[in-house]
A and B are shown apart, each in its own frame.
Chain A
Amino acid sequence: DQQVKQNSPSLSVQEGRISILNCDYTNSMFDYFLWYKKYPAEGPTFLISISSIKDKNEDGRFTVFLNKSAKHLSLHIVPSQPGDSAVYFCAARGIQTGANNLFFGTGTRLTVIP
């Protein structure tokens, strides 16, 4: 059962516009959320994270919003650049004794059109 879901497999955005990537989760015990960016044939790299005690975290062009009541988070990229074209994975971690596991979504492929 997929506990972290990214329902949009792909997204295309014009350069300079905003990209919004969405993620939903089902486990109310998740308390820490991360976004990873992945280029083809490479490992994912950490992008930005947010704790459940916050509803927003910003790092340069990247902002993550968390809506706990809706079990939804989103990643905003403003302005979008061609180098942002990649697959973005949402991940979540829960309160699990003795474990340190991240649950990943299926990813959204972002294409930024020059």
Chain B
Amino acid sequence: DGGITQSPKYLFRKEGQNVTLSCEQNLNHDAMYWYRQDPGQGLRLIYYSQIVNDFQKGDIAEGYSVSREKKESFPLTVTSAQKNPTAFYLCASSISGRDYGYTFGSGTRLTVV
């Protein structure tokens, strides 16, 4: 079955350490996205990528980095520069067309202690 996989589901890291969240899709979607969800904040866009080897900053990109070396993969690195990294992170993908929504992964909850 086609889908989008985020791993791990739960992640704990010490303050000051970089951490990379995995996102893989086998839907042959061109576009991929990273969102962050905090209580009462809805979904906020961190980074997105329309094609391989290209990505753009979203609304809250500071303290994060991404890469898009393969169509299937869009890993997100949460760096030590991110002031409040503890959150629920969601990866999504979509066909680059006008009338399609997103397919989301099941999310990664990152806790920094």
Contact = CB atoms under 8 A, between A and B. Distances in A.
Interface of A: 2, 6, 9, 32, 34, 36, 41-46, 49, 51, 89, 91, 93, 98-102, 104-107
Contact of A100 (B50, B88, B103): B50
A2 B33 CA distance: 19
A32, A91, A99, A104 — which one has the most chain B CB atoms within 10 A of its CB?
A104
B35 to A, nearest CB: 8
B106 interface: yes
Interface string B25-49: 0000001010100001111110010
Contacts of B94: 100
B92 A43 contact: yes
Contacts of A43: 4, 6, 90, 92, 104-107
A89 B99 contact: no
